Structure 1
Amino acid sequence: MHDVRINSTIEPPEPSTTLARAVNIGCSGWYYWHWKGQFYPEGAERSEWFSIYQDRFDTVELNAPFYNWPTVATIRTWLRQAREDFVYTVKVSELITHIKRFDGTADLIKDFGFIADTLGPRMGCLLFQLPPSAKFDPVLLDTILGQLEPRHRNVVEFRHKSWWNDEVFAAFESAGAIFCSTSGPRLPDQLVKTADDIYIRFHGVEQWYRHDYSQRELQAWAERIHQSGAKRVWAYFNNDRNAYAIKNAKMLDGILTGSN
């Protein structure tokens, strides 16, 4: 990917001019075997799953790139399979966030950013998720923010509660980065806004990935979203067990848009 980026003639798009939709709600991934018979019809071929998914949603958070660096052919497939107004958010490789932990990863981040440039108007956010073992460290904070490319919508998700503090929020605001608000066990139940866009990941309340959010729980988040004054909302549901993500994403979308 590095050589492809260096030799590319693609003109990087500006995020603020490539997307008009104010509310972007979807699921963290779409390729789940256990959704067959729950969301995907029993008789549907795997090749049909994405088409079925995008009949219901306008965006998806791609988790696969976290484990396997996408090839150019893969990115072209993403472009080919999606309708023109469909938007991808891409989870950044664990090589950057978990293995190297942002130690000397500026070029790797640029290489990954080439994915965003290639997707153009179908690109949403780049999601950088750190491991729970990464506790607040002002040096690490500066290291992370110093390597992000401001022309992308950069979202950073922490999994340790020590990062929820005013020093971090102020640094994110100065860098124009998006602090990921996270609904997850033992994490602050708080909507954080550090940029014009807000980003929320729903993992579960008491258990990871298997919580079925109630109307009341999602109504509370909707009220926070409205009160935040954000220009654009990104919300992805990662509670994929029993296809709760599908159900809850549609529920929150309905609450926010008034279609419920």
Structure 2
Amino acid sequence: MSGTIRVGIGGWVYEPWRGTFYPEGLRQKDELAYVGEHLTATEINATYYSSQKPATFANWAKAVPDGFAFAVKASRYCTNRRLLAEAGESIDKFVNQGLSELGDRLGPILWQFMPTKKFHDDDFAAFLKLLPTSVAGVPLRHALEVRHGSFDDPVFLALARDAGAAIVFADHDVYPAIEGHDVGFSYMRLMRSQEEQPTGYDAASIAQWKARAQHQAQQGDVFTFFISGAKVRAPAAAQALITALG
């Protein structure tokens, strides 16, 4: 049985989307609901910078329809540290801030590491052991976005697989595009959209990502996000992929 393919963007508050993606005059407080009507996922970026209230997560969940998914970017205090093995308290605080209020709209947690962060097997193994499998009865899935070439290592791939964590596949000019093992879901971040291209990526590229998403869906749910690059084109790229997927 194949998984569900969800396609989205990073966040929903971005001024250049007003008048290009969002209709003129749409109230800012209605922008998330508009994303929910036209896309099938989004990443929550605010959680990377600071904690949110449980009521905030509950309101976000109410703003979008059934089947929509939020990927939640983990706090930088968990991942931007010299010793990842010492992140336990920060991980605990992050997970227990109210993520469970998203309920069945909670997608994977995105653990993003700095481009300067190198792979050290013992430290990373200790970090993976700190990641909880659920919070308040809501299952948690973990996706690892590593940006240093040292992670392109069979030891890292095996550690992630054994922890049940997906490795984010990045389409980027600099970051390595690392292929992870099958852990029952997959996560792609596509970061090369171009402003002169109305849909960010040309038709051939959209077809390529469609084929990859359909292939990955044979192993489980797929989360695909158009991020950065020419960010103003991200919603159009996401809509083009959703249309291509039918």
TM-score (norm 1): 0.81
Query: Number of residue pairs matched?
Result: 235
Say yes or no: does 1:153 pair with 2:136: no
Name the residue aligned to 1:36: 18
Alpha-carbon distance in 2 for matches of 1:53, 1:181: 23
Q: Judging changes above 3 Å, is the alpha-carbon distance between structure 1 residues 145 and 238 closer, same or farther for their aligned structure 2 residues?
A: same
Say yes or no: does 1:246 pair with 2:235: yes
Name the residue aligned to 2:137: none
Alpha-carbon distance in 1 for matches of 2:29, 2:229: 20
Any idea what the Cα deviations from partners look like across 1:43-101, whole Å, max 9, x if unmatched?
22212212221110122111111012112232222133233433211101111111465
Say yes or no: does 1:236 pair with 2:236: no
Structure 2 counterpart of 1:118, one-letter code: E
Name the residue aligned to 2:118: 135
Say yes or no: does 1:220 pair with 2:203: no
Alpha-carbon distance in 1 for matches of 2:161, 2:123: 16
Say yes or no: does 1:55 pair with 2:37: yes
Name the residue aligned to 1:123: 106
Q: Judging changes above 3 Å, is the alpha-carbon distance between structure 1 residues 52 and 185 closer, same or farther for their aligned structure 2 residues?
A: same
Alpha-carbon distance in 1 for matches of 2:35, 2:79: 28
Any idea what the Cα deviations from partners look like across 1:129-166, whole Å, max 9, x if unmatched?
00001012112321221111134101110111221222
Shift of 1:111: 3.0
Structure 2 counterpart of 1:138, one-letter code: D
Alpha-carbon distance in 1 for matches of 2:153, 2:194: 22
Q: Do 2:169 and 2:187's aligned partners in 1 also have CA atoms closer than 8 Å?
A: yes
Q: Judging changes above 3 Å, is the alpha-carbon distance between structure 1 residues 24 and 104 closer, same or farther for their aligned structure 2 residues?
A: same
Q: Do 2:194 and 2:200's aligned partners in 1 also have CA atoms closer than 8 Å?
A: no
The structure 1 segments of at least 4 consecutive aligned residues displaced by more than 4 Å after TM superposition are none
Task: Give ranges in structure 2 of 5+ residues lacking alignment.
Answer: 135-139
Aligned-partner SS, 1:38 = coil
Tell me whether 104-113 or 45-54 shows the greater mean CA deviation: 104-113
Instruction: Map 1:146-225 onto structure 2 (within 5 A).
Output: 146-151=129-134, 152-189=140-177, 191-204=179-192, 212-225=200-213
Name the residue aligned to 2:7: 25
Alpha-carbon distance in 2 for matches of 1:82, 1:43: 20
Q: Judging changes above 3 Å, is the alpha-carbon distance between structure 1 residues 58 and 164 closer, same or farther for their aligned structure 2 residues?
A: same
Alpha-carbon distance in 2 for matches of 1:100, 1:34: 36
Alpha-carbon distance in 2 for matches of 1:248, 1:102: 35
Aligned-partner SS, 2:7 = strand
Q: Judging changes above 3 Å, is the alpha-carbon distance between structure 1 residues 161 and 218 closer, same or farther for their aligned structure 2 residues?
A: farther
Name the residue aligned to 1:92: 74
| Overall identity of the aligned pairs, in % | 24
Q: Judging changes above 3 Å, is the alpha-carbon distance between structure 1 residues 68 and 100 closer, same or farther for their aligned structure 2 residues?
A: farther
Structure 1 counterpart of 2:162, one-letter code: S
Alpha-carbon distance in 1 for matches of 2:95, 2:58: 15
Aligned-partner SS, 2:200 = coil
Alpha-carbon distance in 1 for matches of 2:55, 2:31: 19
Name the residue aligned to 1:7: none
Any idea what the Cα deviations from partners look like across 1:239-260, whole Å, max 9, x if unmatched?
37352111111222233x2x2x
Alpha-carbon distance in 2 for matches of 1:205, 1:42: 23
Alpha-carbon distance in 1 for matches of 2:215, 2:153: 20
TM-score (norm 2): 0.85
Q: Judging changes above 3 Å, is the alpha-carbon distance between structure 1 residues 129 and 189 closer, same or farther for their aligned structure 2 residues?
A: closer
Q: Do 1:28 and 1:60's aligned partners in 2 also have CA atoms closer than 8 Å?
A: yes
Structure 1 counterpart of 2:44, one-letter code: L
Task: Give ranges in structure 1 of 5+ residues lacking alignment.
Answer: 1-19
Q: Do 2:194 and 2:201's aligned partners in 1 also have CA atoms closer than 8 Å?
A: no
